[in-house]
Amino acid sequence: MVISKAQRTFNVFNMILLSLLGLTMILPIIHVIAQSLSSNAAINTGSVAFWPVGFTLANYQLILKDISIWLAFRNSLIITVCGTLINLIATASLAYPLSRPEYLGRKAVLLMVLVTLIFSAPLIPNYLLIKQLHLLDTLWALMLPTAISAFNLFVMRSFFLNLPNELLDSGKIDGCGDFRTIWYVVLPLSKPALATMGIMYAVANWNTYSAAVYYINNRALIPLQVRLREIVFTDMFGNSDPTAEMMLYVSPEGIKMAVIVVATIPIMLVYPFLQKHFIQGMLVGSIKS
């Protein structure tokens, strides 16, 4: 295949542009990591750019000794894993019947879902509902109210609409009911969509902040993002107040950067395991068969 001069020019320009855009995203992350590994003096003098100066792990040693960090990390992990499973089960369970023409009333349900996409319930009614359900000061308050995202529901429904009817009919011919058809036919074919929705839901659950501030008063149940906010804005060290010797190496700014790294890396590690499905899933619903 012969590539024209104009095409080569476009490819070079496109590569340069995307590389610059990539640098604007990756350089701030590198700067945060560099500061988290730098000494107090280097940070205070502003000599840290994209490489640690006065390399030290004291910032990480300090925050990892803080029991409240580990409790918050545990809570965020529970919210992310359990919440994402609830999200995927609930979204797929509603999206599949809404994609099938034999289910009556699906247009009315879609209209109600669309209303929630455009208009959201005010905070006070939401709080009163959570209180009436006795979910205050429980992790369920951070998972159940957001079980289904209207946007993700429409994306999942679009994917189900593109599944060949012949495959679904073959399952019914083999004696499968609706549940077995979903389990043995629909879900195995929906791995790209589930992976994409899973990453979106997991990131949202991991970054839960507002709901925790509204519904959680028990400090043993606060997620990592709330604890991070306390450290960043109030310099609360919890059970790990720095000793005089440690203060020679750590600084409030370095501790903040270390906490940001600890809060960010776990969710970033999920992507490599779902990458092959995620790239394909990003095109979910974009092509109509």
Residue ranges of domains in the chain: 67-281
Least confident among 2-11, 124-133, 187-196, 270-279? 270-279
- pLDDT given for residue 230 in this prediction: 79
Residue 208 has pLDDT above 60, yes or no: yes
Average of per-residue pLDDT across 91-113: 84
In angstroms, what CA-CA distances link 134 with 51, 52, 137, 272?
49, 48, 9, 38
State the CB neighbour count (10 A cutoff) for residue 26: 11
Q: Which of 39-43, 61-65, 134-138, 262-266 has the highest mean pLDDT?
A: 134-138
Average of per-residue pLDDT across 178-202: 80
Task: Give the angle subtended at the CA of 54 by the CAs of 267 and 57, to the nearest 5°.
Answer: 40
Residue 289 has pLDDT above 50, yes or no: no
What DSSP letter does each residue of 24-66 carry, written as one string? HHHHHHHHHHHHHTS-HHHHHTT--SSS-SS---HHHHHHHT-
Residue 254's identity, in one-letter code, is G
Residue 284 has pLDDT above 60, yes or no: no
And the tokens for 81?
């894993």
Tell which residue, 201, 256, 228, has the closest CA to residue 75.
228
Tell which residue, 167, 66, 149, 150, has the closest CA to residue 113.
150
pTM of the model: 0.76
- pLDDT given for residue 86 in this prediction: 93
Q: For the domain 67-281, what is the CATH code?
A: 1.10.3720.10
> What percent of the chain has pLDDT above 90?
6
In this prediction, residue 151 has a pLDDT band, given cuts at 50, 70 and 90, of confident
Q: Which of 58-67, 126-135, 185-194, 273-282 has the highest mean pLDDT?
A: 126-135
- pLDDT given for residue 87 in this prediction: 92
Average of per-residue pLDDT across 50-63: 79
